[in-house]
Amino acid sequence: MTIRTDAISVEEWDILRRSLGLSLLQTEIVRRLFWGKSHHEIAREMAIRPRTVRTQTDHLYREFGVSNRVQLVLHLLASLRKSWEQEGESLSV
């Protein structure tokens, strides 16, 4: 299965980041998780340590009450949809 990397616009990622209080680092990690990247691929692309990726994802799992990357992405997409609905817009995904 291939996920379009443009399925969520830059503006939508920014809305999600602001509405959930994500840091820029967390947002970039989540974007890459959404694209199906591994922790090592994310670390290489972002020029950070794989442990940093793991630490940030573990923090997000705890913060949003999920236990894996699929649940995290689904939770974030639901949050994005809710944000758009509150603004009277439709999600592009």
pLDDT string in tens for the chain (93-residue length):
444 556 778 888 888 888 889 999 999 999 999 889 999 999 999 999 999 999 999 999 999 999 999 999 899 888 878 876 776 655 455
Domain 10-85 has CATH 1.10.10.10: yes
Cβ 2 vs Cβ 30: under 8 Å: no
The domain ranges of the chain are 10-85
Q: Supply the pTM of this predicted model.
A: 0.79
Closest residue by Cα to residue 36 from 2, 60, 59 = 2
Q: Is the separation of the CB atoms in 55 and 48 below 8 Å?
A: no
